[in-house]
Structure 1
Amino acid sequence: MYLNEVRNILTDVLNLGAAGNALTEDSPLLGSLPELDSMAVVSLIGALEDHFGIMVDDDDISASTFATLGSLAAFVQEKRGA
């Protein structure tokens, strides 16, 4: 699973510092991290696309994708076809 890589990218994009290391698979994201606003979502998607070599269409994005760190990692895994 891509949990650690996604956590690292999320931490970098949102500048969470040490707080990012505390995120677990069940950590809520959207609505719980004030840093994760609409502009940050765009930046995060770009960073995930670059890092994992995936393409994310607008239709792929939903609030449930960003519900938890685990749901975001599962989304990346699905996009990678793994």
Structure 2
Amino acid sequence: MSVTDTVDANLRALLADVLGLGEDRAAALTADSGLFGELPEFDSMAVATVLTEMEDRLGILIDDDEVDGEIFETYGNLLDFAERKVRG
């Protein structure tokens, strides 16, 4: 399994767990799927939990200055950010 596939699978599982989306809704996310402001479950409280879970599950550290609203606009943006962090 490639880094991209591993990060994608972990990120989908994380969103299913944290947001309570369920596996089917998480699996249906595309790169263009809106997150913050589009999914009612993805509110400002969920952002902090998602970031913490990303650190734990992906073994990365996320600095506050790396986080901006663009990351949470779409699933593709969040996946790209996570991949960059995992690759170092």
TM > 0.5 fold call: yes
2:59 equivalent to 1:56: no
CA distance in 1, matches of 2:42, 2:77: 15
Partner of 2:73: 67
Q: Percent identity?
A: 43
Partner of 2:8: 3
Task: Flag structure 1 segments of 5+ consecutive residues without an equivalent.
Answer: none
Question: Scaled by the length of structure 1, what TM-score is found?
Answer: 0.89
The structural deviation recorded for 1:43 is 0.5
4+ residue runs of structure 1 moved beyond 6 angstroms? Answer: none
Aligned residues: 82
Task: Flag structure 2 segments of 5+ consecutive residues without an equivalent.
Answer: none
CA distance in 2, matches of 1:78, 1:20: 21
- Name the Cα RMSD after superposition: 1.3
My pick for the range that moved more, 20-29 or 30-39, is: 20-29
